[in-house]
């Protein structure tokens, strides 16, 4: 180590802030450029260099430096940058292994959809038995009116009447419970398309009077 560097390090060990500031001002820009070459992020590079200097300040009394101080700090910056890159890699691997956690919005939408499904099931189960069977075959199993009529031994007209009755009754029940208006006001209706709740609402919504 050069005599001048040894003097500076000795002052830093004695908590001489001015000596530390002079050392920082002299070398930090060079080390910043080195860190940028590794990290490709100026803000992270600046922080990495500051970390190295803070370590020097905090541990100066216990450090045994045999090479030049500048060379020591240069190597310390490179090692710190490599550690940061290794940490990034480990975090990236961990993110790939962990299942993606739903956001708060997704969790809220799930709760709303669960509540909607519950209301729909209750409303459907309150339909008269034959009307309920016809409705489920039509809307949940996508059967045509003729297929339902043949399966249940009914006329096509009777099947159509059951479906219309079910739709009107479901609409009335859901409106009374505030479900339809809630969907419209909260804007979650279109997010449910493709689900059971969305399918039922698409069917029932044609009876809503705006």
Q: Which domain covers residue 50, as residue numbers?
A: 3-97
If asked whether residues 184 and 200 sit together in one domain, one would say: yes
Q: Which of 45, 76, 97 is the last residue before a domain boundary?
A: 97
Helices (H) and strands (E) in the chain, counts: 10, 0
Tokens at 124, concatenated: 């459907």
CATH code where residue 67 lies: 1.10.1740.10
Q: Give 174-205 pLDDT, tens digit per residue.
A: 666 665 554 544 443 444 444 444 545 554 45
- State residue 143's pLDDT score: 87
Tokens at 51, concatenated: 């970390």
Q: Give 43-93 pLDDT, tens digit per residue.
A: 898 999 999 999 999 888 888 888 888 899 999 999 999 999 998 888 877
Indicate the angle between helix axes 69-97 and 3-13, nearest 10 degrees. 60
- State residue 196's pLDDT score: 47
pLDDT at 23 over 70: yes
What is the pLDDT confidence band of residue 99, given thresholds at 50, 70 and 90?
low
If asked whether residues 92 and 110 sit together in one domain, one would say: no
Measure the CA–CA gap between 111 and 120, rounded to whole angstroms. Answer: 14
pLDDT at 117 over 70: no
Look at residue 1 and give its three-state secondary structure.
coil
Measure the CA–CA gap between 49 and 27, rounded to whole angstroms. Answer: 10
If asked whether residues 129 and 62 sit together in one domain, one would say: no
Q: Which residue has the tokens 């705006």?
A: 210
If asked whether residues 115 and 202 sit together in one domain, one would say: yes
Q: Which residue has the tokens 């609409």?
A: 171
């Amino acid at each position: 180590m050069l005599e001048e560097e040894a003097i500076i390090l000795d002052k830093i060990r004695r908590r001489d802030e001015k000596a530390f500031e002079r050392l920082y001002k002299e070398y930090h820009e060079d080390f910043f450029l080195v860190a940028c070459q590794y990290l490709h992020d100026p803000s992270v590079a600046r922080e990495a260099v500051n970390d190295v200097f803070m370590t020097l300040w905090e541990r100066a009394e216990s450090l045994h430096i045999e090479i030049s101080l500048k060379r020591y700090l240069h190597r310390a910056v490179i090692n710190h940058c490599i550690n940061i890159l290794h940490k990034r890699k480990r975090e990236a691997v961990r993110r790939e292994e962990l299942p993606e956690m739903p956001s708060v919005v997704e969790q809220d939408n799930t709760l709303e959809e669960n509540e909607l499904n519950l209301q729909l099931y209750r409303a459907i189960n309150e339909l008269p038995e034959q009307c309920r069977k016809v409705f489920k075959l039509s809307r949940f199993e996508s059967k045509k009116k003729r297929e339902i009529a043949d399966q249940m031994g009914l006329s096509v007209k009777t099947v159509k009447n059951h479906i219309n009755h079910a739709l009107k009754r479901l609409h009335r029940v859901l409106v009374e419970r505030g479900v339809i208006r809630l969907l419209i006001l909260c804007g979650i209706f279109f997010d449910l398309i493709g689900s059971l709740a969305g399918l039922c609402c698409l069917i029932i919504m044609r009876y809503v009077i705006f």
